[in-house]
Amino acid sequence: MVRSFRPIFLPAFLLVVSSCPAFAATWKQPTPDELKMTADPAAPDAPAVYLFREETVDDKLHYHHLYAQIKILNDKGKEEFSDVEIPYEGGVISVRSIEGRIIHPDGTVIPFTSKPFVKEVIRAGDTKIMEKVFSMPEVTVGSILEYTYDLQYEDNIVISPDWDLQQPVFVHHAHYHFVPATWFMGELSTKDRFGKEQSATRLIYFPLLPSGNKVNYSIDGSYDLVVDNIPAIPEEEYSPPLGSFSYRLIFYYSAGDPAPTTGKPPARNGPKTSTASPIPTTPSARPSPASSLPPTPTTRSSAKSTPP
């Protein structure tokens, strides 16, 4: 069983804007070679591989979107990827627009038509962590499994992405896209680890990327990352936590000097960046100890004013 997304563990902040629209799934047609593949030379003995994975976070419209296309290579892959679990925080995030299909090696397409079921995983005070679970139909060794869904969160919350680029299996191609919230100084606030409220004045991202890859900034204010041939997360006894060594890309809204780092987009809300570690290496970009990492997952704070 695969947990395909981790939205409940991301920092959330309050900002009032519009709601998320619904989008129909757009499937990526597999190639003849992908259909007939029985093993992958890029990942020998792998149970499955991602042919393509795409994640979009849009904080203007308050949604996260995921699309996955997975090739099943043996019985272990069938066991691990046939069921999909989507964790989310009840009452804050809703799961919508779940669609899926199976493509057999002969090209036969079996659509997902079942109804997902919901279960409560954790309850702590007023917080409920839920999971929406669904099973893909007629999965066999050699099948290509595809699914997509959206996570919509409340209109007064923004959730910047914390993307793990490495997955339990090899990833051939992946695309990550982030549209930050449209906000102005003083309208978005957060709390540091000591509970002190601060106005968010900048967007920061920390890239730990494979050599030769970079985050691209667009004139419309969005960010894109395209990566290929990402190795699987190593499975070793006593291995360190995933976030301490794997490829990843983290964005978060932060309080501090809004002036951008030299050589980066000069927009007022352009990002400060670090290319080596989660703590910026240039003195002008170094956060205070209280804000050197993203706020704790349960931190939510009130907007100081409501945009028109």
| Cα–Cα dist 7/96, whole Å | 14
Task: Compute the half-sphere exposure of residue 223: CA atoms within 13 Å on the CB side of its CA.
Answer: 26
pLDDT at 159: 85
Q: Which structural domain, as residue segments, surrounds residue 120?
A: 2-291
Q: Is residue 245 assigned to a domain?
A: yes
Residue 304 placed within a domain: no
For residue 5, what are its two tokens?
A: 């997304």
Asked if residue 31 is part of any domain, the answer here is yes
Report how far Cα 220 is from the mean position of its chain's Cα atoms.
20
Rounded CA separation 55/42 (Å): 23
Q: Where are the beta strands (DSSP E) in the chain?
A: 2-3, 12-13, 48-58, 63-72, 83-89, 93-103, 109-111, 117-124, 127-135, 144-153, 158-159, 162-164, 171-179, 189-191, 197-199, 202-208, 216-217, 223-230, 248-254, 271-273
Check: CB of residue 132 under 8 Å from CB of residue 95: yes
At 253, is the secondary structure helix, strand, or coil?
Answer: strand
Instruction: Specify if 303 maps to a domain.
Output: no
Predicted confidence at residue 182, as pLDDT, reads 73
From first to last of the 308 residues of the chain, give the pLDDT tens digit. Answer: 555 544 443 344 433 333 444 455 689 999 999 999 999 999 999 999 999 999 999 988 989 999 999 999 999 999 999 999 999 888 888 999 999 999 999 999 999 998 888 988 888 888 888 899 999 999 999 999 999 999 998 877 888 899 999 999 999 999 999 999 876 455 666 655 566 666 777 788 999 999 999 999 999 989 999 999 999 987 766 555 554 568 999 998 877 654 443 334 334 344 444 332 222 222 222 222 222 222 222 233 333 333 33
pLDDT at 262: 32
Query: Considering the domain boundaries, does residue 299 fall inside one?
Result: no
- pTM here? 0.76
- And the tokens for 130? 């839920």
Supply the pLDDT for residue 168.
93
**Separation CA 80–CA 164 (nearest Å):** 19
Amino acid letter, residue 178: F
Which pLDDT score is estimated for 301?
A: 33
Task: Name the β-bridge partners of 129.
Answer: 89, 122
What integer pLDDT is reported at residue 98 of this predicted model? 93
CB 196 within 8 A of CB 255: no
Q: Is 47 within the bounds of a domain? A: yes
- Structure-block tokens of residue 296: 């704790």
Q: Is 10 within the bounds of a domain?
A: yes
Give me the pLDDT at residue 147, please.
96
Cα atoms found within 13 Å of the Cα of residue 265, Cβ hemisphere only: 18
Q: Which residue has the tokens 């907007």?
A: 303
Question: How many domains is the chain built from?
Answer: 1
Does some domain include residue 296?
no
Element (H, E) at 79: helix 75-81
CATH of the domain at 234: 2.60.40.3140
